[in-house]
């Protein structure tokens, strides 16, 4: 694998980031970090969607200019991703001059090609969705099911994109590539939507929506969100209709584009059609993740249950985000909805990260110091059936990531740790030491430490800080590619002293986990 390019949806900066935004970014970051262990060039794009009627209205309601409002909220998103150790390569904003210039070129090219035409239209417009909707898309009360609001009737002369021209090609691509949409069960949903697809509006009259990118040569029209926002995935790489950059040639097509299930239609239909019109290769995969509920209830400002990632970290006095990253990344099977609750969060991360994984490493190193002064002797180095489990776990984790099954991959890591804990219990090295069976005792400890080297590599995408602490105490090179991992990582000789041993993760309810008491 020469490169790996992944993208997130760009966040609408109409408010502050919440845990739903965090879920997508963590999921994408875990995927990208995993593939960075399999290639020398992994690139992750995220960004902010900053144009449209909602930004225009909200900024005015708080007495701010739209750009000033966008700058303020875009900073909040960037701060949130820094807090969560989201290791993105680039954050694009649709108010960037470079993006706006290329979007105008894309629009012009599609006009010249005959794929964009002007048309008078009367329809139902949902401001929340930023799109025209049909009556069949609404609930029994005539409300948008996603935003619980009635669309307004809009009559405008806009530019339209010939989406219907590419309908058959999109259907063909989805049917011929069953793994294109992940999870695959969502493909039928998209195919059903394609049955009644119509051409789409790709501009708004400036008198109704002034905050956006003007159509080059027609200042009375503002380029609509789908040409503007969706194009970020290629404008960020320096795509140009006349002379695409080397960066674009290197990274495009995207290996996977990670989005929420509510915008799958726009990415698997609108976006594909735009790319086909531009004669650009299609992304290899689109991963549509589910939603995160709070205590089994959908997040809602009116219910007052919107949770921010920073509030979770503050509530549990977390210095590092690994626990939240792990919990969110494993919150749901691939493509399904997940849930966040304080109690489940605490119980899960304490069980998996502190009690099972962290304690296994800590007590093994402590026994090595207690019985052998932290030294690995030559006679400790033996083969073990657990090493076959390690190799199997590496392949299983890679397999799940090939299908972007992040929670399922984590389960394989947990199983390896559980098997190793059982091995320790069954072998009882403390009993072997008591019986002065020193070689057998040392062999058990050595075996566990070898497994923990592999565990540190596998858990790294989820918990980079914990993995780094593990690797440091094991004198293990965490930059080792997954395909290059050898079982014999623990070297003969002094490994660690008592002073160098410390828990890699403290239980969230531990007094020691309270940073004010450290």
**pLDDT tens profile 175-229:** 999 999 999 999 999 999 999 999 999 999 999 899 999 999 998 999 988 899 9
Does residue 144 have an active-site annotation?
A: yes
Instruction: Report the pLDDT value the prediction gives residue 379, as an integer from 0 to 100.
Output: 97
Residue among 32, 70, 129, 453 flagged as catalytic: 129
Mapped to the 3 state alphabet, what secondary structure does 250-264 carry? HHCCCCEEEEEHHHH
Residue among 32, 131, 144, 453 flagged as catalytic: 144
- Which pTM value belongs to this model? 0.93
Does residue 301 have an active-site annotation?
A: yes
**Rounded alpha-carbon distances, angstroms, from residue 114 to 111, 118, 165, 200, 319:** 5, 11, 11, 14, 55
> Cα separation of 291 and 335, whole Å?
9
Instruction: Report the pLDDT value the prediction gives residue 306, as an integer from 0 to 100.
Output: 87
Does residue 167 have an active-site annotation?
A: no
Residue ranges of the chain whose pLDDT lies below 50: 512, 514-518
SS3 124: strand
Q: Which of 218, 277, 211, 229 is closest to 57 using CA atoms?
A: 211
SS3 47: strand
Does residue 126 have an active-site annotation?
A: yes
> H helices of 199-303, where?
225-230, 232-235, 246-251, 264-265, 271-278
Does residue 437 have an active-site annotation?
A: no
Instruction: Report the pLDDT value the prediction gives residue 518, as an integer from 0 to 100.
Output: 35
Does residue 148 have an active-site annotation?
A: no
Does residue 129 have an active-site annotation?
A: yes
Does residue 441 have an active-site annotation?
A: no
Residue among 48, 126, 334, 463 flagged as catalytic: 126
> Cα separation of 121 and 515, whole Å?
60
In the chain, what are the domains?
341-517 (1.10.730.10)
Instruction: Report the pLDDT value the prediction gives residue 130, as an integer from 0 to 100.
Output: 66
Instruction: Report the pLDDT value the prediction gives residue 516, as an integer from 0 to 100.
Output: 44
Q: Which of 6, 8, 16, 72 is closest to 36 using CA atoms?
A: 6
């Amino acid at each position: 694998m020469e490169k790996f390019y992944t993208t997130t949806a760009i966040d609408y900066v109409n408010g502050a980031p919440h845990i739903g935004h965090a879920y997508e970014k963590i999921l994408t970051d875990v995927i990208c970090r995993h593939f960075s262990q399999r290639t020398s060039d992994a690139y992750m794009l995220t960004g902010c969607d900053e144009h449209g009627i909602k930004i225009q209205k909200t900024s005015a309601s708080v007495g701010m200019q739209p750009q000033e409002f966008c700058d303020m909220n875009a900073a909040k998103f960037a701060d949130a991703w820094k807090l969560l150790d989201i290791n993105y390569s680039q954050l694009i904003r649709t108010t960037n001059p470079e993006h706006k210039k290329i979007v105008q070129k894309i629009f012009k090219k599609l006009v010249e090609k005959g794929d964009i035409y002007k048309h008078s239209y009367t329809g139902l417009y949902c401001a929340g969705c930023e799109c025209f909707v049909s009556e069949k898309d609404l609930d029994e009360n005539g409300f948008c099911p996603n935003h619980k609001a009635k669309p307004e009737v809009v009559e405008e002369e806009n530019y339209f994109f010939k989406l219907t021209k590419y309908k058959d090609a999109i259907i063909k691509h989805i049917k011929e590539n069953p793994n294109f949409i992940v999870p695959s069960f969502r493909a039928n949903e998209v195919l059903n939507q394609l049955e009644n697809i119509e051409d789409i509006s790709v501009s708004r009259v400036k008198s109704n929506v002034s905050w956006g990118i003007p159509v080059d040569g027609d200042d009375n029209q503002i380029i609509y969100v789908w040409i503007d926002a969706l194009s970020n995935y290629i404008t960020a790489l320096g795509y140009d209709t006349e002379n695409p950059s080397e960066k674009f040639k290197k990274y495009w097509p995207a290996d996977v584009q990670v989005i929420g299930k509510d915008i799958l239609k726009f990415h698997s239909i609108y976006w594909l059609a735009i790319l086909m019109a531009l004669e650009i290769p299609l992304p290899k995969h689109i991963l549509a993740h589910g939603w995160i509920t709070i205590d089994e209830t959908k997040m809602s400002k009116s219910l007052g249950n919107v949770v921010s990632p920073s509030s979770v970290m503050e509530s549990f006095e977390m210095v590092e985000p690994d626990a939240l990253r792990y919990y969110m990344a494993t919150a749901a099977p691939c493509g399904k909805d997940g849930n966040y609750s304080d109690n489940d969060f605490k119980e899960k991360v304490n069980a998996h990260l502190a009690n099972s994984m962290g304690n296994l490493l800590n007590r093994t190193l402590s026994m090595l110091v207690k019985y052998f002064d932290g030294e690995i002797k030559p006679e400790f180095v033996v083969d073990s059936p657990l090493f076959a489990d390690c190799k199997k776990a590496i392949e299983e984790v890679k397999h799940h990531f090939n299908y972007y099954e992040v929670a399922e991959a984590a389960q394989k890591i947990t199983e390896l740790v559980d098997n190793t804990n059982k091995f320790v219990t069954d072998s009882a090295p403390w009993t072997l030491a008591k019986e002065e069976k020193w070689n057998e005792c040392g062999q058990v400890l050595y075996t566990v430490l070898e497994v923990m080297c592999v565990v540190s590599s596998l858990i790294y995408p989820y918990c980079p800080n914990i993995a780094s602490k593990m690797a440091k105490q094991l004198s293990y090179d965490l930059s080792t590619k997954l395909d290059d991992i050898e079982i014999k990582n623990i070297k003969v000789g002094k490994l660690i002293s008592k002073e160098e041993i410390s828990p890699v993760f403290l239980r969230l309810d531990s007094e020691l986990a309270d940073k004010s008491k450290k």
